[in-house]
Each structure stands twice: as C-alpha cells, then as structure tokens.
Structure 1
C-alpha cells in the first residue's frame, strides 16, 4: 500500500520550470517543520491531468498565471490561491509553504 502524504500541495505556473525550484525549497521547509507534504509543480497546460491524478488539498498559482484563478475556483472544490509575487520572486519556500498550509487549515 502506498502511503499518501498528509497534505498535497500543487503549484501551477506557465511552463512548470520556475516553480520546480520553489517546490524543492518548500520541501526543505516542510522537512524542517516535520510536515508530511507532497509538493509538486506542473505547467498550466497539464494542470487538469495532475488534478485528476493527485487530488491535491490546495492549488497554488504562480503570479504569471494569476489570470486562471477564477477559472480554477469555479471548477474545483479545493482552495485556490495565487502565490505572493514577492515570495515567488525570492523563492521563499517557507513562506509559500506556510501560506499553503494556512489555506488548507481554513478550508477544513
């Protein structure tokens, strides 16, 4: 049996490249905080496939795809947030992780 992470956080950006660095910083922050989280990034074009496969607890959009916010919010029953542009630019994994975890808490 596959052990599922307690929390699944999905990041979406234009091509899935810039967020992969952010994902590794978020994973380090999660380990430091002892948070059991699966964190992954995907390109906007592949977001629906990943949503079907992985069923994340929260969807975090990169600032460059913030225009997709309403579209995802109307279709999904999970919280959807836009990553703070400054945190994204600074690749502040800890702040983005905290934001995602707080969003999940509020939704539950």
Structure 2
C-alpha cells in the first residue's frame, strides 16, 4: 500500500488529477491511497503519507516542503508541469511509485 498526498494552493486543482491517478491504480491493481490537500495542511498530513507531490503552482514552496517531509523520510517533488497540465494520472502515479521505492 502506497499513500500519496498531492498538495496545491487549496487542494482543489489537484482533485481531478487524483481521480485519474486512482483510476489508473485500480486498473493496474496498485494498492494506493491518493488524496489532495491544501499545502497549508502538509505538516498535519505528513504522518499519513509515503510520498508528497506538489502542484506546479506551489513549486515555490519546495524547500519548505522538503523541510517538513525529509525528516520524516517522505520524499517530495513538484509534479511535472506537462503531466499536470495534461492530467496524466498514469505518469504521475508511476513517478510517485518510483519515489516511494527509493
């Protein structure tokens, strides 16, 4: 089971991507919990996730996110802008799985 958190300004713009990722996970038989949150909840949610992904619109907060996540052993990175824009749930899910397995 992999627990993925997507963080953006309000947790809304990532919701469509979350749905696409959930669909791909189900189709591939990947056990995953995938949720969207506002970036302001990262400190509260870090204990509940294995991977943190930032929406491109909040990439400016990557260093803050690393400060929150890395001490807990949670990898964090910004979602590729093209994959985000195209709502490519499969590519984003695959990236999250790679991050979790490092």
Give the TM-score of the pair, scaled to structure 1. 0.87
Deviations 1:51-88 (A, max 9, x none): 24x2x110000001111111121232210010000000
Counterparts of 1:23 and 1:75, CA distance in 2: 22
1:95, 1:47 → 2: CA distance? Answer: 23
Show the counterpart of 1:69.
Answer: 62
Q: C-alpha separation between the residues in 2 aligned to 1:40 and 1:59?
A: 10
Aligned to 1:28: 23
Q: Which runs of 4+ in 1 moved over 4 A?
A: none
Q: Structure 2 matches for 1:1-108, cutoff 5 A? A: 6-52=1-47, 54=48, 56-76=49-69, 77-106=73-102
Over aligned residue pairs, what C-alpha RMSD do you find? 1.0
Q: State the SS of the aligned residue for 1:18.
A: coil
Unaligned runs of 5+ in 2: none
Please identify the structure whose Cα radius of gyration is greater.
1
Aligned length: 99
Q: State how far apart, in whole Å, the 2-side matches of 1:36 and 1:13 are.
A: 23
Task: Output the CA distance in 2 between the equivalents of 1:48 and 1:90.
Answer: 28
